[in-house]
Amino acid sequence: MFIIEESKIKTGQSIYPNEFMFYLDILLSPLFGKLLMKGVSERKVIFINDKKHRTLEIFYRFFRGEDISPAKLAIQYGVSTKTITRNLNEIKEFLAENRELVGHTDLEYISAVKAYRLKFDEFLSDKELFAIAKIIIGTRAFSENDISLIIAKLKNFVTASDKKRLDEIIRKELYQYSEIKHDCNSVLDNLWQLVSAIYERKEITISYWKKERTLSDKRIQPVSLMFSEYYFYLIAFYPGQYDEPRYFRVDRITNIIEHRKRFTSKI
């Protein structure tokens, strides 16, 4: 089932390769499920139902954690159950012939619901995800929005049955969450910029709120990051002053400018 704008079909316009890749990106993106649910921003769409696109979409739906019922899918696509079974067999053949790529990944039939489910070793168990989520929430280092996005992405790596159970557990954890006030817009964005500068060994200038609430710019050489008691800290040196490292709270950094000048790490 491949999404094409109805207006493009009516006007008889062709779909060029770059447009095909655009629609394929939509199909393979994490937003695909939301786009289907919301009708792609409420635009009218029609569905091209051919074998190649149908098999691709079914495969993606497995990765979203859906249990796939041949009978229900046959009704959705307007084809026979034999046709859907052939699509599933193609997916099984692909998994069997590409073990080096996909590992021990298989389609498992769940007789209780008369549906197939994707099973592979890389899925997190419910207890593993809950432990990770508990650690992330317990740090209180991120905004509630950032934590919700991280956990939502992590839930893509658990089975469909575990996901339903975890939704309610994690919802209760987030309901009681109290985030710490930060000066920066995003701790996550700051961390990634700093990691890049540390890896490239580039000098940076940061705009930093001191403890006494004065804002100043500091040119430094970043060398490492650490976490302690709710906060991430940047460890850095002032250029030419390597006797004592300096510590900066990452959430107090409101701007980062990366310079071309590189340095030799001192630790």
Angle between helices 51-63 and 17-28 (to 10 degrees): 30
pTM of the model: 0.59
pLDDT tens per residue across span 126-178: 777 788 888 888 888 888 888 888 888 877 767 666 677 777 777 887 777 88
Confidence tier at 97 by pLDDT (50, 70, 90): confident
Closest Cα partner for 255 from 213, 200, 207?
207
Q: Would you identify the CATH topology of the domain 187-262?
A: SH3 type barrels. (2.30.30)
The C-alpha atoms of residue 149 and residue 154 are separated, in whole angstroms, by: 9
Q: What local confidence, expressed as pLDDT, does residue 247 receive? A: 95
CA atoms within 13 A on the CB side of 133: 29
More confident residue, 87 or 156: 87
Q: What local confidence, expressed as pLDDT, does residue 160 receive? A: 64
Instruction: Please provide the average confidence, as pLDDT, over all residues in the chain.
Output: 78
The C-alpha atoms of residue 169 and residue 162 are separated, in whole angstroms, by: 11
First CA to last CA distance, the chain? 55
Q: Is the predicted pLDDT of residue 264 greater than 80, yes or no? A: yes
Provide the residue type at 211 as one letter.
K
Q: What local confidence, expressed as pLDDT, does residue 266 receive? A: 61
Domain residue ranges in the chain? 2-119, 126-175, 187-262
Sheet holding 253-262, edge to edge: 241-249, 231-238, 215-228, 202-209, 253-262
Confidence tier at 5 by pLDDT (50, 70, 90): very low
pLDDT tens per residue across span 98-109: 877 777 788 888
For residue 217, with 0-12 CB atoms within 10 Å meaning exposed, 13-18 middle and 19 or more buried, which class applies? exposed
Q: What local confidence, expressed as pLDDT, does residue 34 receive? A: 40
